[in-house]
Amino acid sequence: MIKDIIKKLKPSATLLINEQSKALEAKGKKIYKFGFGQSPFPVPTDVVEELKRNAHQNKYLPMQGLFELRDSVSKYLTKNKKNKYEADNIMIGPGTKELMLLLQIAFEGDILLPIPSWVSYFPQALIGRNKIHWLNTKKENNWFPSAEEIERTVIKNKMKKYILFLNSPNNPSGNICKNLNEICDVIKKYNIIVLSDEIYSELAFESNCKFISDICPEKTIISTGLSKWCGAGGWRLGFFAFPDELKEIKSSLKILASESFSSVSAPIQFATISAYSNDHSKYIDSTKNILKSVGLFVYNTLKSNNVLINKPDGGFYLMPEFINNKFKTSSEMCNKILNDTGVAMLPGSEFGFSEEKMLARLSFTDFDGSEFLNNTVGCKNIDEKLLIKFAPNMVDGVNKLKKWSENL
């Protein structure tokens, strides 16, 4: 009685690793939660206050989202992007994940997914019954596909429509996409649409970081929201910004929204106006400073001849490769690491890599973000002493992992 396509889906690896971690914790083992991808920081207080002030908002809001919110997002984007996105080009959803699912349902064509890709793109493409083409990448190219790799895939059927998913800064690699110009050339040449998943864009460590939406806005849907920079994953608010050239897609998503979630929770939408119109640069800089310091500590501690990693460029992940012949699959390796050290990570196979590639995603957010933030506001240099004080699980867990890797 269940559709074959749905039977193909399996429970997400994050849930499994959490269950396993809980079972070990129940037996008294100390677990380092490096498998979970959630912002450790609190929502800025002015935004929380706005939510309190708007608890009484009880009406259904427009399917595309509250005008005042779309307007504040539009002004925010206009400040940061060259392309102009009017309020009518913005679509508000209950998290970007839901909007991406609606996109997969509406779109008739094939999906181009770099290896690695965020865990939900692939199952959502299956649900949308879209054919998936995996694109190989290299560590040396920051784990993003080259234009050549994209061209090699689409040239096989130039008549097809394609959406390329590009996520920078990336989950799981923590890297940003640098070969934007060549990607832009190839997407223009073959009329490819890009879903630019910029959910970690505010957390790019270097300033003036560029995205594909800056280079090739007319072909790009921007996908972002509150979940990562604002520490508000549980609030469930994300948005798509469409260029005029792709507004037809927006119209279809609007209809799908009206037949599914109707509109995002009213108090959350009212509160989010302040998230995009007030100045949160101090909050963002402080959280970024912490993430960068923790990320660099993990990178510098772990990297060795046995552990290859790229330096993280943003967000809160990095992706070590453990050079060994001991394990058949990355899941087997992650299980062994969890049992031996208590460090929970997700295997690379969850992100599209072949099982024998010994990669894992390490999320460096196992610390109390409120405490760390309150004690380091305005602090430029977060040294190891502060890390030991405010991120002791990160320091202990990474040192355990390092020791484990020395015996590979």
Ligand X SMILES: Cc1ncc(COP(=O)(O)O)c(C=O)c1O
DSSP H or E run through 32: strand 32-33
Q: How far is CA 233 from CA 29, 38, 58, 213, in A?
A: 28, 7, 22, 23
Quick check: 198 binds ligand X (CB under 6 A)?
no
Which residues, in sequence order, are bridge partners of residue 220?
A: 194
Q: In terms of CB distance, is 275 or 382 closer to ligand X?
A: 275
Minimum CB separation of residue 176 from ligand X in Å reads: 13
**Does 232 engage in binding with ligand X (CB under 6 A)?**
no
Minimum CB–partner distance for residue 352 and ligand X (Å): 13
Site for ligand X (CB under 6 A): which residue of 44, 65, 217, 225? Answer: 225
- Residue from 51, 199, 273, 401 touching ligand X (CB under 6 A): that is 199
| Residues between 357 and 396 with contacts to ligand X, criterion CB under 6 A | none
Task: For residue 204, report the phi and psi dihedrals to the nearest 5 degrees.
Answer: -70, 130
Question: Which DSSP helix (H) or strand (E) runs through 361?
Answer: strand 360-363
Return the residue matching tokens 């509160």: 271
Stretch that binds ligand X, among 17-25, 90-98, 280-288, 352-360 (CB under 6 A): 90-98
Cβ of residue 326: shortest distance to ligand X, in angstroms?
Answer: 30
What the block records as the tokens of 257 is 């929204």
> Kind of pairing, strands 110-114 and 131-135?
parallel
In this structure, which amino acid lies at residue 382? Answer: I
Residue 42's Cα: distance from chain center in Å?
18
**Residues 14-33 contacting ligand X, CB under 6 A:** none
C-alpha 311: how far from chain center: 17
Closest approach, Cβ 170 to ligand X, in A, equals 7
Which residue sits closest to ligand X, CB atoms considered? 95
The reply on whether position 123 binds ligand X by CB under 6 A is: no
238 contributes a contact to ligand X by CB under 6 A: yes
Q: What's the closest the beta carbon of residue 224 comes to ligand X, in angstroms?
A: 8
CB of 154 to ligand X, least distance (A): 23
- State the nearest-atom distance from the C-beta of 237 to ligand X, in Å: 8
Q: In this structure, is the dihedral angle defined by the CA atoms of residues 112, 117, 120 and 126, taken in order, positive or negative?
A: positive
DSSP H helical segments within 1-44, as ranges? 4-7, 13-26
Q: Which amino acid is at 111?
A: I
* Residue 197 in contact with ligand X, rule: CB under 6 A: yes
Contact call for residue 316 and ligand X (CB under 6 A)? no
- Note the residues at the interface with ligand X (CB under 6 A): 37, 95-97, 118, 167, 171, 197, 199, 225, 227, 233, 238
